[in-house]
Structure 1
Amino acid sequence: MLLGVVAVLACLVSACGGSGDEEEFTGARLDQPYAAPTVELTDTDGAPYSLAADTDKPMTLVFFGYTHCPDLCPLVMNNIAAGLNRLDEDDREQVDMVFVTTDPKRDDEAALRDYLDDYGEGFIGLTGELDDIVAAGDPLHLYVNDGKKLPSGGYDLGGHSTFVLGIDDEAEAVVVWNQETSAVEFANDIHTLLSED
């Protein structure tokens, strides 16, 4: 009977020890980091912005999507925004968030600014020629649809990667998160990465 009580207590302790799971790193660390692209896009102020030259904070999150995306982009952006809100002030000041549109025909500087302001202060939006956006995604192993017209006459934008990359202050993508990463997981991983510097 004593052994049974000990076993139950052990189970309860392990079940209550969820903080260990919560702190587990959930992103995929890149053993061979991707070099950030040098191609210049345009930010929402109309200034040139390069993911290689202008990501000078210890961590810059990068996500490629578009403002008219009906499902995955809002889900990912909400989780990023909520994750950044969970960080303490010191950590938050060390992180930038960059959203690169895959629909430059509709996502001009003003449209991006309006969209991003709904998610968080200081989010950076980038647009440009579609060829340049595709070129920016290539070295990060992010697929961007080339936007060719469909036989029906419509415009196909459905294809783009839904990964989020973390670029460090040496202009290298060192971690990748998938579309299912939660706000808590983003916050924990970012805190871990910043603590290692």
Structure 2
Amino acid sequence: MRRSLRAAAAALTLVLAAGLAGCGGDDEARPFSGTVLDNPYQVPDTELIDTDGEPFSLAADTDKRLTLVFFGYVNCVDICPAVLNHLASAMTRLDDRDRDDVDVVLVTSDPDHDTPESLRTYLDRFDDSFIGLTSDFDTIEAVGRALAVGIDRQDPGGHTTQVMGVDSGDESPVFWSADTSPAEFAADIHTLLQEN
């Protein structure tokens, strides 16, 4: 029976606490860069809309072992493109097996301006497999709140900038800061998928 991402993250925390991840100069043994949560967030089964205009729920429609969820918007000029570039670069560092087990999702924090079409065009600049989601502002705000991501309708850039890791059990037991490097993302993703 496959362990949940939460169990893998908990096991990883024990390994790191024991000091096993930082031995020697082994590049494969780098420390875990994400933050493991003692109490994972429950991912709401709320319908959003994907870039094809179809319903998409972060709970019901994220079937991969790991889904990386980021809230951002098309006209963002700094943090959003940096994070999406790092995620796209991280995906290229994974082997095919790991890559097949991961999805990347951008939920717009500016649904008043980001259409499904503009989201698709924007995401294609980074990786055409990335999933874009929108809805009305109140729905997106509620989904963000469930994942401890605050967004501000008057300032779409005033959102929390962490990348949330969602597992196939509809929990988010881990997150990464916006300044996580591609190498750190890739190493953590590989570690979580191996532990899971």
User: Normalising TM by the smaller chain, what interval?
Assistant: 0.7 to 0.9
What residue in structure 2 maps to residue 58 of structure 1? 65
CA deviation map 1:65-101 (0-9, x unaligned): 0010011111111111101110000000000010000
* Mean Cα deviation higher: 60-69 or 24-33: 24-33
Structure-1 separation of matches of 2:191 and 2:77: 32
CA distance in 1, matches of 2:107, 2:92: 21
Runs of 4+ in 1 over 6 A off after TM superposition: none
Q: Which has the larger radius of gyration?
A: 1
Q: Does 1:17 align with 2:21?
A: no
Gaps of 5+ in 1: 1-13, 149-155
The whole-number CA distance in structure 2 between the counterparts of 1:17 and 1:122 is: 34
Which of 36, 44, 48 aligns to 2:43? It is: 36
Q: What are the ranges of 5 or more consecutive residues in structure 2 without an aligned counterpart?
A: 1-21
Question: Match of 1:66, as an amino acid?
Answer: Y
RMSD, matched Cα: 1.6
Shift of 1:18: 5.3
TM-score, normalised on structure 1?
Answer: 0.85
2:7 counterpart residue number: none
TM normalised by structure 2 equals 0.85
Q: Determine the C-alpha separation between the residues in 2 that align with 1:78 and 1:37.
A: 27
Give the distance between the partners of 1:18 and 1:88, measured in 2 at CA.
19
Structure 1 residue matching 2:174: 3-state secondary structure = strand
1:1-197 alignment runs, 5 A limit: 17=25, 19=27, 23-145=30-152, 147-148=153-154, 156-197=155-196
